Chains A and B, each alone.
Chain A
């Protein structure tokens, strides 16, 4: 199986699976180490709570396996945060590919709601994931925690502050938004990921 979606207790696995189907990719959902090792592309999807998700990965030693992978890996939303070093959500130690501390949004007044829910623009796009994606495209975000800007930032979004909408370090890619839920542009981003190394 070429593309693997990591099986998760509280992920939106089904919607990622369906969005891949719409671009002609038949992916497999599994937490089997063997399948993950042999896959060409790996997606770590993303709805849920950081501590609960990390516990599941650690119990299966998938955190170690993931960090050793050399093929393209894409973390989505919570999946992106888990690829960072630490999350403020339940004070969770994460996988640590990106040397970033995931923080909770702080709103000074009630003007900015937390979580951020809805469509926001992505800017300063870099790298192969954003090939042919126009700057300022709208993507769908649902999150209370964010990864700050850093050397691996490949897209920025503004909400309360400017933060990382996407990250990349070698074969590790991560997006805070949900490409699988972001209409046609989101699907194009997924397609870009699937076509890496082709």
Chain B
């Protein structure tokens, strides 16, 4: 049976992990490779790396980091942040990334999604959507949540799905960082209205939040950063908890 996935997310800046640094056994917690090995042993199902440097001259650092991650990791990982064009994707996949996630550039040039999925296969193209609930509607935001649009989140998810993306990474800006639980309604709405998997992100605080996002929010995967980095929730314990509630987990 296909299991639900637990995905830690690491923010990368200039080749180093930015937040999340409270590991007893790690001498250098800014070293992404050490975190990668630790999460692999913990039973993470996948990892996502978001490069928040995203300036052109620093992209080479990212490519060499991706190569290094790929040489150490034996589970899948996605790389996102600042992807503009086909060439960026090619370099990341050739460096060993399994999937790439694309956000702002896809909204600006939706045709890019067709080109990428045609060339590299749908399964390695993840559409990241930052969404915010305002005036009774969920809206798409760009540039890491700094720029609003008049695009409704469900419309964009449907369009991107028909343009060939393989997965949606949905982050609720209203919930991100609050530790008050995931955005159940919009996640469920997207999940029930597109045919591709949805990764829910933003708001994870306690074990129960994960149960709810799978059971009520119908997410296929759940992403979290700080609660894993600061070891407020440990993945083996989380997976046991979910298994006890009949959410299928890889152990």
- Interfacial residues, chain A to chain B (CB-CB below 8 A): 10, 12-15, 18-19, 21-22, 47-49, 52, 78, 107, 110, 113-121, 138, 140-144, 158-159, 178, 180-184, 186-187
Contact = CB atoms under 8 A, between A and B. Distances in A.
Q: State the 10 A-B residue pairs at the shortest beta-carbon distance, nearest first.
A: A14-B96, A119-B250, A142-B123, A113-B197, A18-B71, A138-B250, A120-B2, A181-B76, A115-B123, A48-B121
B75 A47 contact: no
Interface stretch (B21-29, B186-194, B202-210): B186-194
Contacts of B195: 107, 110, 113-114
> How big is the B interface, by class?
35 or more
Interface of B: 1-5, 40, 45, 67, 70-71, 74-76, 93-96, 98-99, 117-124, 166-167, 191-198, 220-221, 250
B121 A159 contact: no
B93 A47 contact: yes
Given A49-B121, A117-B5, 13 more contacts: A10-B93, A14-B67, A18-B70, A18-B71, A52-B118, A110-B191, A110-B195, A113-B195, A113-B198, A116-B2, A119-B5, A182-B74, A187-B74
A119 B1 CA distance: 8
Contact of A47 (B67, B123, B196): B123
Contacts of B167: 115, 117
12 contacts: A18-B96, A78-B121, A110-B194, A114-B195, A117-B5, A117-B166, A118-B3, A119-B2, A140-B76, A142-B76, A159-B2, A178-B98
B71 A21 contact: yes
Nearest to B76: A181
Contact of B3 (A14, A52, A120): A120
Contacts of A19: 74
